[in-house]
Amino acid sequence: MEQDCAYKTLEARFRQIALYGEVASVLHWDAATMMPPDGASPRGEQLSELRVLRHRAVTAADMADLFSAAEQEDLDPWQRANLREMRRDHRFATALPDDLVAAISDATSACEHMWRDARATSDFAAVSDKLSVVLKLTRESAVAYGEALDLDPYDALLESYAPGVRSADIDPVFNDYAAFLPGFLEEVTARQANNGLPVQPKPVPVAQQQKLVARLAGATGFRFDAGRIDVSAHPFSTGYRGDQRITVSYHEDDPMASVMAVLHECGHAAYEAGLPAAWTRQPVGQALGMVVHESQSLSVEMQASRSPEFLGWLAAQAMDVLGPDPAYEPNNFRRLQQWVQPDFIRVEADEVTYPAHVILRTRLERPLLSGDLPLSDLPGAWNKGMKELLGVDVPDDRRGCLQDIHWYDGAFGYFPTYTLGAMLAAQLAEAAHKAVPEIPQALAKGDFSPLMQWLGNAIHAQGSYLDADGLITQATGHTLDAAAFKRHLHRRYLEG
Amino acid sequence: MEQDCAYKTLEARFRQIALYGEVASVLHWDAATMMPPDGASPRGEQLSELRVLRHRAVTAADMADLFSAAEQEDLDPWQRANLREMRRDHRFATALPDDLVAAISDATSACEHMWRDARATSDFAAVSDKLSVVLKLTRESAVAYGEALDLDPYDALLESYAPGVRSADIDPVFNDYAAFLPGFLEEVTARQANNGLPVQPKPVPVAQQQKLVARLAGATGFRFDAGRIDVSAHPFSTGYRGDQRITVSYHEDDPMASVMAVLHECGHAAYEAGLPAAWTRQPVGQALGMVVHESQSLSVEMQASRSPEFLGWLAAQAMDVLGPDPAYEPNNFRRLQQWVQPDFIRVEADEVTYPAHVILRTRLERPLLSGDLPLSDLPGAWNKGMKELLGVDVPDDRRGCLQDIHWYDGAFGYFPTYTLGAMLAAQLAEAAHKAVPEIPQALAKGDFSPLMQWLGNAIHAQGSYLDADGLITQATGHTLDAAAFKRHLHRRYLEG
């Protein structure tokens, strides 16, 4: 037993660190769904105290010695992978000096707060001073991470969101997609125009949308004994084993928005719920970064829920719960849910044009970070990029470079995970359908279980045992590339 | 500056400790109002981790030295009172060995869980083994507190809930009330019988009750920008500056129960909201124990809201929001809200018979704790006591010694605070009406502000600067006794 001592001590420490994370997730959820306005300031102080606790625990003075001692102990492969993930956490936490962590926290709070007004008034100049502070501090942290991890600064930021992802892998994939898109888009829009515009659904009261949302969440395997669905300004999913919390926003005029959002969040929640129970609260038991996480939400929302099989069933549910509406006539409904339309707003984009939004941001955030693109040139560069990639003229910064919170909140290097996740979802869908051919027939009856079982084994139950390349290869036979995604788009939009 | 160093360090430590408390209050609120069933187990671990953090911080090895050094520093009177309150926290936290704290936490969780079933099936024997473990550990902790504080064990428990309260003060007051009650009850019930039974209100849908509840909370000064009202099995109030959370339970058949419960909780919330802002998160800025807290809820619910002046206004509001009902005819409504009826259940008792429920529990918990009353004799002793005090025959243990959670959750020494709080509320009402004679006329218009302003200055803004005797004397001219309460009952029930 003595020889296990360092490893067991580390497990106990990381259990405690995970508990701080669970508590923080409840506080964040509450802030987005329940908290009255005057609660914002004390909530900020509570969360900052929890961050300090977590940081202090991960960077404790004896951690390095415990890691070295644990390496010498007799560990099984999962314990060894857990130790590797602990070291990863520690490496990130120790990379930044405490005063930089505090400065980033203050600067992003101030910038994010200012951004809300700047976006409302479409006034980029009003927030650019604050953003330039965030950018400067993010640059410092990228350099510090890079030194600690022996990576280029931008790659170090990517690594923090998506272990193993490098810009050298992203560039060819994104350039290829940018080249593929204009021709593909032309074909798709010409084809869908043949049948005119689909009929839009009539407005539906929120209470009825909630009934449909609950039914669909249940179909994906979401358990209300171990979770809730609430309302927030932007949909998200959080929580932990036993208590998964999803939020949706409802718009009477657009009843299918809440439905598709909940299916997306249910994909995230299923991943969290299916993580290996034996490794709860240990680093190896956590989700493997944001690319894999997004692949799970898009497996449910884009791959499964917008498949022709599932859309047939969903149209019948909509008719049943929301009431009769020509928009839910099966053919019209399918055209509605598969409609492709270049537009300004990322979060409203279809899956064909969505990558263009991500490519634009990825192309801009790297020169922003390096300083090659001055902040004052951002709006112009944004609008030029949108014209080149999607052929649209951005009317104002509100619908341009002010639309997303990410940069204003200090999240540089995050955007690529959305599109890599979409590509991984397509690659996983091909492998799943090959292994379990009855998935489409089951979806046609609203039955997600064959799909979720495959994803559960291939992805969810693997936690962070393997690295991303290892996990994706084990699940699909090869590492991540864009081929399956392009095949999927071709099938769905030119053959379907 | 150097000379302030120890005190300032202590302030920073106790700010952190208070933040842990705020976080725990959010988690408790969420558990009672929002959490899905499977969230209970992780929530227990999160709360236990926060307790450990708090305990570790309060009992840090250098605390005693910091206290000694701070005593020598140049402090103003509030800082000195703050230091006194810090020492009080520290004395309680260090009194119990860590393993006893953990054992109590486990035993009360297990017992409380078992009690829920035992109460449902009215089966005291099913929970008595678990209760005997709780009792044994509570006895140990009472002895340990007593040694640390130089108090008799039961007095040490009282002190933990109500600083300064001793059994020697309670005994004569409670014995006097027990002697006063039978004759008074006879007079009141004879008098009210003259006009027959009042008409009971018709059932009211929960949504309408919620409208009335929100209006009444607003009338007491409750701000929805800085608080919420939700639903839980038992009403409570929690939170902190900027984020007060009240819960109510609604019963369609008894629409006035939610209304009176919210008025009660608004009294608690007003106390918390009115604590001295400059001392937020410091011990001297906290409420002064449970007697004073209960006096604030009862000042609003019993003294103000069941006064004839306010009941006239409330009847009109009920008529307006809940719809016309002969029960809300002013004279009937007042008789309903002031009806006196000996019964089995403490939480449903009127203010005349309520003290008898408390006296019974106080008389039983001391011999239980000392071991003079064996647990197996508790049901019999309970039923005998109810017969003696209120003349009622307890039909079963569900409506007898199983009705309250307190003992099963380890809370011995808590019950007396309810009745001492009622007595203090009456004493404060006399002082308030003398100082601000327009309080009743304002209440007749639904205006709580003159009362709340007086309570705000006399009680809320004082925090824990004075001890309880000092605070009560400053506010009312003398220390707490039962005279004002008895005068109040006489006025309301025999003269009103």
Q: Do B225 and A36 touch (CB under 8 A)?
A: yes
Q: Which of A20, A23, A49 is closest, CB to CB, to B16?
A: A49
Cβ neighbours of residue B102 closer than 8 Å, sequence gap 6 or more: none
Q: Which of B11, B159, B265, B301 is catalytic?
A: B265
* Chain A residues within 8 A of B240 when measuring between CB atoms: 42
Of chain B, the end-to-end C-alpha distance in Å amounts to 61
Q: Do B242 and A42 touch (CB under 8 A)?
A: yes
> CATH number of the domain that B402 lies in?
1.10.1370.30
Do A80 and A170 lie in one domain? The reply is no
Strand order in the sheet with B227-231: B227-231, B243-248, B236-240
Q: Do A23 and B46 touch (CB under 8 A)?
A: yes
Name the CA dihedral angle for B104, B110, B111, B116, rounded to a multiple of 10 degrees.
140
Q: Do B228 and A49 touch (CB under 8 A)?
A: no
Q: Do B226 and A53 touch (CB under 8 A)?
A: no
Cβ neighbours of residue B99 closer than 8 Å, sequence gap 6 or more: none
User: What is the reported pLDDT for B415?
Assistant: 98
Q: Is A265 a catalytic residue?
A: yes
Distance from CA of A492 to the nearest CA of B (A): 39
Question: Does some domain include residue B127?
Answer: no
Residue A150 burial (C-beta neighbours within 10 Å; 0-12, 13-18, 19+): exposed
In the 8-state DSSP scheme, what is residue B236? E
Q: What is the pLDDT of residues B330-347, one digit of tens each?
A: 999 999 999 999 999 999
* Chain B residues within 8 A of A226 when measuring between CB atoms: 36-39
Q: Do B228 and A26 touch (CB under 8 A)?
A: no
DSSP string, A219-285: HHT--GGGEEEEE-SS-EEEEETTEEEEEE---TT-HHHHHHHHHHHHHHHHHHHHS-GGGTTSGGG
Indicate if the pLDDT at residue B2 is higher than 70: no
Range of the domain at A416: 162-496
Query: Average pLDDT in the B414-429 region?
Result: 98
User: What is the reported pLDDT for A1?
Assistant: 40
Question: Does some domain include residue A231?
Answer: yes
Q: Which of A16, A23, A225 is closest, CB to CB, to B23?
A: A23
Rounded CA-CA distance B160/A391 in Å is 71
Rounded CA-CA distance B131/B392 in Å is 26
Alpha carbon distances (Å) from B396 to A281, B121, B392: 45, 10, 12
Q: Do A243 and B26 touch (CB under 8 A)?
A: no
Do B228 and B345 lie in one domain? The reply is yes
Indicate if the pLDDT at residue B1 is higher than 80: no
Cβ neighbours of residue B181 closer than 8 Å, sequence gap 6 or more: B352, B353, B355, B356, B389, B390
Q: Which of B50, B53, B226 is closest, CB to CB, to A36?
A: B226
Distance from CA of A32 to the nearest CA of B (A): 14
User: What is the reported pLDDT for B4?
Assistant: 62
Question: A–B: how many Cβ contacts below 8 A?
Answer: 85
* Chain A residues within 8 A of B50 when measuring between CB atoms: 23
Question: Does some domain include residue B116?
Answer: no
DSSP string, A268-322: HHHHHHHS-GGGTTSGGGS--HHHHHHHHHHIIIIIITTSHHHHHHHHHHHHHHH
Q: Which residues are B229's β-sheet partners?
A: B246
Rounded CA-CA distance B84/B96 in Å is 20
Q: Do A42 and B225 touch (CB under 8 A)?
A: no
Rounded CA-CA distance B198/B58 in Å is 54
Q: 10 Å Cβ neighbour count for A23?
A: 26
Q: Do B242 and A39 touch (CB under 8 A)?
A: yes
Residue A188 has which token pair?
């798709």
Q: Do B30 and A30 touch (CB under 8 A)?
A: yes
Q: Which of B35, B42, B243 is closest, CB to CB, to A35?
A: B243
Among the candidates B55, B79, B95, a domain finishes at B95
ipTM of the complex: 0.94
Among the candidates B95, B130, B155, a domain finishes at B95
Cβ neighbours of residue B90 closer than 8 Å, sequence gap 6 or more: B58, B59, B63, B64, B67
Question: Does some domain include residue B385?
Answer: yes
Among the candidates A67, A95, A123, a domain finishes at A95
* Chain A residues within 8 A of B231 when measuring between CB atoms: none
Which of B13, B27, B38 is the best substitution to test chain A (most A C-beta atoms within 10 A)?
Answer: B38
* Chain B residues within 8 A of A43 when measuring between CB atoms: 243
Q: Do A243 and B49 touch (CB under 8 A)?
A: no
Question: Does some domain include residue B307?
Answer: yes
A400, A382 Cβ separation under 8 angstroms: yes
Q: What is the pLDDT of residues B355-414, one digit of tens each?
A: 999 999 999 999 999 999 999 999 999 999 999 999 999 999 999 999 999 999 999 999
User: What is the reported pLDDT for A2?
Assistant: 47
* Chain A residues within 8 A of B227 when measuring between CB atoms: 36
Write down the mean pLDDT value for chain B: 96
The percent of residues above 70 in pLDDT, for chain B, comes to: 99
* Chain B residues within 8 A of A32 when measuring between CB atoms: none
B36, A243 Cβ separation under 8 angstroms: yes
Cβ neighbours of residue A374 closer than 8 Å, sequence gap 6 or more: none
B76 HSE (CA, 13 A, CB side)? 3
Do B361 and B479 lie in one domain? The reply is yes
Indicate if the pLDDT at residue B105 is higher than 90: no
Do A429 and A285 lie in one domain? The reply is yes
Rounded CA-CA distance A282/A286 in Å is 7
* Chain A residues within 8 A of B20 when measuring between CB atoms: 49
Question: Does some domain include residue B156?
Answer: no
In the 8-state DSSP scheme, what is residue A446? T
Q: Do B19 and A227 touch (CB under 8 A)?
A: no
Total domain count for chain B? Answer: 2
Distance from CA of A77 to the nearest CA of B (A): 27
Distance from CA of B38 to the nearest CA of A (A): 5
User: What is the reported pLDDT for A101?
Assistant: 87
Alpha carbon distances (Å) from B74 to B8, B81, B86, B164: 11, 13, 17, 27
Distance from CA of B259 to the nearest CA of A (A): 22
Distance from CA of B46 to the nearest CA of A (A): 6
User: What is the reported pLDDT for A98?
Assistant: 83
Q: What is the pLDDT of residues B73-92, one digit of tens each?
A: 999 999 999 999 999 999 99
Residue A144 has which token pair?
């510090």
Q: What is the pLDDT of residues B220-279, one digit of tens each?
A: 999 999 999 999 988 999 999 999 999 999 999 999 999 999 999 999 999 999 999 999
Which residue in B464, B494, B481 sits closest to B428, CA to CA?
B481
Distance from CA of A73 to the nearest CA of B (A): 28
Do B85 and B172 lie in one domain? The reply is no
Residue A28 has which token pair?
């964040």
Numbered residues of chain A with Cβ closer than 8 Å to any chain B Cβ: 16, 19-20, 22-23, 26-27, 30, 34-43, 45-46, 49-50, 53, 223-228, 240-243
Name the CA dihedral angle for A260, A264, A269, A270, rounded to a multiple of 10 degrees.
100
Residue segments in chain A with a per-residue pLDDT below the cut of 70: 1-4
Q: Which of A11, A159, A265, A301 is catalytic?
A: A265
Which residue in A308, A309, A314 sits closest to A262, CA to CA?
A314
Alpha carbon distances (Å) from B430 to A331, B180, B455: 76, 21, 12
Q: Do B23 and A27 touch (CB under 8 A)?
A: yes
Q: What is the pLDDT of residues B168-190, one digit of tens each?
A: 999 999 999 999 999 999 999 99
Q: What is the pLDDT of residues B286-330, one digit of tens each?
A: 999 999 999 999 999 999 999 999 999 999 999 999 999 999 999
Residue B7 phi/psi, 5-degree rounding, is: -60, -45
Residue with tokens 């004390």: A42
3-state secondary structure of B237: strand
* Chain B residues within 8 A of A46 when measuring between CB atoms: 19, 22-23, 26
**Residue of chain A minimizing CA distance to B16:** A49
The percent of residues above 90 in pLDDT, for chain B, comes to: 95
> What angle separates helix A77-95 from helix A124-149, to the nearest 10 degrees?
130
Query: Average pLDDT in the B134-143 region?
Result: 97
B279, B463 Cβ separation under 8 angstroms: yes
Alpha carbon distances (Å) from B99 to A201, B52, B54, B111, B113: 62, 11, 15, 18, 21
Residue B397 has which token pair?
């243990």
Residue A109 has which token pair?
């709070």
User: What is the reported pLDDT for B114?
Assistant: 93
Question: Does some domain include residue B412?
Answer: yes
Rounded CA-CA distance B100/B106 in Å is 10
> What angle separates helix A124-149 from helix A378-390, to the nearest 10 degrees?
80
* Chain B residues within 8 A of A53 when measuring between CB atoms: 53
Q: Which of A16, A225, A242 is closest, CB to CB, to B49?
A: A16
B466 confidence band (pLDDT: 50, 70, 90): very high
Q: Do B39 and A226 touch (CB under 8 A)?
A: yes
Question: Does some domain include residue A220?
Answer: yes
Do B90 and B167 lie in one domain? The reply is no
Alpha carbon distances (Å) from B336 to B72, B258, B301: 59, 15, 15
Numbered residues of chain B with Cβ closer than 8 Å to any chain A Cβ: 16, 19-20, 22-23, 26-27, 30, 34-43, 45-46, 49-50, 53, 223-228, 240-243
* Chain B residues within 8 A of A241 when measuring between CB atoms: 42
